[in-house]
Amino acid sequence: MNTTRRQFSLLAAGASFALVAPARATPDSMKASIQAFTGGKPVKEGRVKFDISLLVENGNSVPLSVLVDSPMTKDNHVTRIGIFNEKNPLPDVAIFNLTPRSGRAQIATRMRLNDTQFITAIAEMSDGTYFSAKSEVIVTMPACVEE
Amino acid sequence: MNRLAYLVVIGIALPAFAQDARKSGFDFMGPDTQAMQKDDLANPGMLSVLEGEALWKANAGTSQKSCASCHDDATQSIKGVAARYPAFDETTQAPLDLAGRIIQCRTERQGAPAPQREGRELLALTSYVAHQSRDLPIAPPKDARLASTRAQGAALYSTRMGQLNFSCAQCHDDNAGGHLGAAPIPQAHPTGYPLYRLEWQALGSLQRRFRNCLSGMRAEPIAAGSKEAIALELFLMERAAGIHLETPAVRP
Amino acid sequence: MARALINVPQKSKRGEIIEIKTLMSHPMETGFRPGMDGQLIPRDIIEKFVCTYNGEVVFSAQLHPAITANPFISFTTIATDSGTLVFSWTDNKGETQVQTASIQVE
C-alpha cells in the first residue's frame, strides 16, 4: 500500500511529537529542585550577582557567571551555588561547592537553554541562609540547523 | 533620469567597495560568542588544536614517523600554509584542499590508514595546521592551473540550487548583513575553519558548513573532498584574499 | 582521547586570589537526543568535577545534562603554597580523567 502524502505527514508529525515529548522541567519542578537544595528553608533575594546574556545566539552554549557578596572567611562563607532552570528537560543545571580557600565566591560556566526562560542562581551561606537572583534569557533560534 | 540614478548608485557603490567592505563572520556575532573565540583558554576549538598538536608529534603508520619527523616544528614550518590552500597538487595534477593534503601525507608518506573526512583525527590535525596561520592574511596561490577550478567554484556560488531555488550569492552577497530569522547573514568568508560551531557543539570543516547550507536550501549536498567542494572552497578563499585567518573560530 | 585545557597563573603571590579556568573535551550527551536511527543516544555526561590543591579539596561541582558540551568551569582559589593542583572529571559510568598543573607561589 502506498502511503499518501497526508498519511505521511501525520506519521511524521506523530514521530516528531514522540521525539520532542520527553518530560520537561516546569516552574513547579524547578521549585521542587530548589526545595531539595535548600531543605525547604526560605530564600531571600540579594547578595547574588548573576551575569547571563538577556539574548543569546544559540541555546547550546550560554555563558554565565555568579558572584556572591561574602567575606569568604572560615566562619562566614558561601558553601554552595546552585543553578536552576524551568524549561530544560531537567530543572537542575549544576551545583558548585566552595570553601574558605576559594577566596572569592565567584564561578563561571556555560549552559544549555532549551527555550526562553528564567534561570535562578541560589547561594547557600555557611550560616544556613540562602540568597538568590534570577534572570530571564531569550533564546533565538538559529536559522541554519543541520539536516 | 533613470540613467542618472544608476550613475549616482555606481558613484556611491565604487568607493565603498574600494574601502573593502568585507567582514569576517566574527564581526556579525554577539559579544558573548566573540569573547569565547578571543580567549584561547575558553575557546572550545582549542581542544582540537591541542589534540592536533599531540597527533603531530606522535608516530603513525608503517613508516613509524610523525608529522614532526619531516616538518619539525609546526609553529615555524607550517606557518602560512593553510592560508594558501586549496592548492594545485603536483602528484595528482589536481587541486587539493588542506584536509586532502593531510590525508595524502598520512597514507602515502606515513603509511597510515586514511583519516576520515570530518572525523576527529583529521579535524584535529587540520585545526592544528590552520592554527599556525592565525592572524595571517588569506593568500590563495596565483597558480594558472587552478583557473578552471576557480571558475567552477564561482559558477557554483552563483547558481540557483535546490527546491528553494537559491544561490549562495543571494544570501551572502545580496542579503549579507540582513537576517534569516533572528540570525544575521554573514558574508561567507571562510576565515576560521575548522571552526567550533555552537549549533554543532563540535568542531567542523568548511565543507560540513556547505552541506549545512545546501540542506537549508533543500539542495543536494556536495560530498566532502569532492571536486565541487574544493572548487567552491577555492573560490571563497580567493574572494576572502587578504582577510586574516582566525582558526579555530567560534560561530553560533 | 579526552583532553583538557587548564589555566593556572604561572606565578602568584602568597595570599593572592587566582582565577582557574578549565575546559574539558567531552560530548555531554544529554540522553534526550535521538540519533540517526531514531533511538535516544545514551546519556554520557561528566557528573563530578573536583579540584584539589596540595591534596585538599578547594572546589568541586556536580554537573547535569544542562551543562554545555566540552564543559567550561571557572573558579577561584587563594594561592597558599607552591605545589600541585589536581583536576578530576568523573562521568556517569564512573570513569575519571585526571590532569595536574603546578603552581608557583612567592
Task: Give the pLDDT band (50/70/90) at residue B87.
Answer: very high
Interchain contact, C63 vs A94, CB within 8 Å: yes
**A122, exposed or middle or buried, with CB in 10 Å at 0-12, 13-18, 19+?**
buried
Q: What is the pLDDT of residues A43-90, one digit of tens each?
A: 999 999 999 999 999 999 999 999 999 999 999 999 999 999 999 999
Phi-psi region of A34 (alpha: psi -120 to 50; beta: other; left: phi over 0): alpha
- Answer whether C89 touches A (CB < 8 Å): no
State which residues form the domain around A36.
24-139
- Among residues 3-42 of chain B, which lie with CB inside 8 Å of chain C? 41-42
Q: Does residue A36 carry a pLDDT above 50? A: yes
- C38 occurs within a structural domain: no
Task: Give the pLDDT band (50/70/90) at residue C2.
Answer: low
Interchain contact, C59 vs A65, CB within 8 Å: no
Q: What is the pLDDT of residues C52-86, one digit of tens each?
A: 999 999 999 999 999 999 999 999 999 999 999 99
Task: Give the pLDDT band (50/70/90) at residue A7.
Answer: very low
State which residues form the domain around C84.
4-33+43-105
* Among the partner residues A65, A108, A111, nearest to C66 by beta-carbon distance: A111
- B52 occurs within a structural domain: yes
Phi-psi region of A92 (alpha: psi -120 to 50; beta: other; left: phi over 0): beta
Question: Based on the structure, what is the number of domains in chain C?
Answer: 1
Q: Which of B72, B199, B189, B67 has the alpha carbon at shortest distance from B121? A: B67
Once rounded to an integer, what is the mean pLDDT over residues B133-155?
A: 97
Task: Give the pLDDT band (50/70/90) at residue B14.
Answer: very low
Q: Does residue B167 carry a pLDDT above 80? A: yes
Q: Does residue A14 carry a pLDDT above 80? A: no
Task: Give the pLDDT band (50/70/90) at residue B165.
Answer: very high
- Contact residues, chain C to chain B, C-beta under 8 Å: 1, 3-5, 7, 21, 23, 25, 27-28, 68-70, 72, 74
- B66 occurs within a structural domain: yes
DSSP C4-53: EEEE--SEE-TT-EEEEEEEE----B-S--B-TTSSBPPPB-EEEEEEEE
Specify whether the CB–CB gap between B219 and B163 falls below 8 A: yes
CATH number for the domain that contains residue B69: 1.10.760.10
Q: What is the pLDDT of residue B26?
A: 97
Q: What is the pLDDT of residue B98?
A: 98
Q: Does residue B10 carry a pLDDT above 60? A: no
State which residues form the domain around B108.
45-131
- Return the residue matching grid coordinates 549552559: A111
pLDDT cut 90: percent of chain B above it: 90
Task: Give the pLDDT band (50/70/90) at residue B12.
Answer: very low
How far away is chain B from the Cα of C24, in angstroms, using its nearest Cα? 8
Specify whether the CB–CB gap between B52 and B129 falls below 8 A: yes
b/e per residue A79-113 (b: at least 16 CB within 10 A)? bbbbbbbbbbbbbbbbbbbbbbbbbbbbbbbbbbb
- The amino acid present at B199, given as its one-letter code, is E
Q: CA–CA separation, B238 vs B220, rounded Å?
A: 24
Mean of per-residue pLDDT scores for chain B: 92
Q: What is the pLDDT of residue A20?
A: 45
> Which residue of chain B has the CA closest to C19?
B41
Question: Based on the structure, what is the number of domains in chain B?
Answer: 1
DSSP B28: G
Once rounded to an integer, what is the mean pLDDT over residues B108-114?
A: 97
Q: What is the pLDDT of residue A22?
A: 56
User: How many inter-chain contacts (A to B, CB under 8 Å) are there?
Assistant: 57
Q: What is the pLDDT of residue C3?
A: 86
- A112 occurs within a structural domain: yes
Specify whether the CB–CB gap between A86 and A30 falls below 8 A: yes
DSSP B196: E
Question: CA dihedral in degrees (B36, B39, B43, B45; nearest 10)?
Answer: 120
b/e per residue B147-163 (b: at least 16 CB within 10 A)? eebbebbbebbeeebbe
- B146 occurs within a structural domain: no
- B104 occurs within a structural domain: yes
Q: Does residue C92 carry a pLDDT above 60? A: yes
Higher pLDDT, B62 or B11: B62
Q: Does residue B28 carry a pLDDT above 90? A: yes
Task: Give the pLDDT band (50/70/90) at residue A147.
Answer: low
Q: Which of C74, C78, C16 has the alpha carbon at shortest distance from A94? A: C74
Q: Which of A67, A61, A51 has the alpha carbon at shortest distance from A107? A: A67
CATH number for the domain that contains residue A105: 2.60.40.2470
CATH number for the domain that contains residue C53: 2.60.40.10
Q: How many CB atoms lie within 10 A of CB C33?
A: 12
Q: Does residue A3 carry a pLDDT above 50? A: no
- A135 occurs within a structural domain: yes
Q: CA–CA separation, B46 vs C25, rounded Å?
A: 10
- A6 occurs within a structural domain: no
DSSP B74: H
- Answer whether C36 touches A (CB < 8 Å): no
- A126 occurs within a structural domain: yes
Q: What is the pLDDT of residue A25?
A: 86
Strand runs labelled E in A43-146: 43-45, 48-52, 55-56, 62-68, 78-85, 92-97, 105-111, 117-125, 130-139
Q: What is the pLDDT of residue B2?
A: 47
How far away is chain C from the Cα of A105, in angstroms, using its nearest Cα? 8
Q: What is the pLDDT of residue A17?
A: 41
Question: Based on the structure, what is the number of domains in chain A?
Answer: 1
Q: What is the pLDDT of residue B20?
A: 86
Interchain contact, C65 vs A112, CB within 8 Å: yes
Q: CA–CA separation, B91 vs B109, rounded Å?
A: 13
Specify whether the CB–CB gap between B28 and B186 falls below 8 A: yes
Q: What is the pLDDT of residue B18?
A: 55
Q: What is the pLDDT of residue B137?
A: 98
pLDDT cut 70: percent of chain A above it: 80
- B247 occurs within a structural domain: no
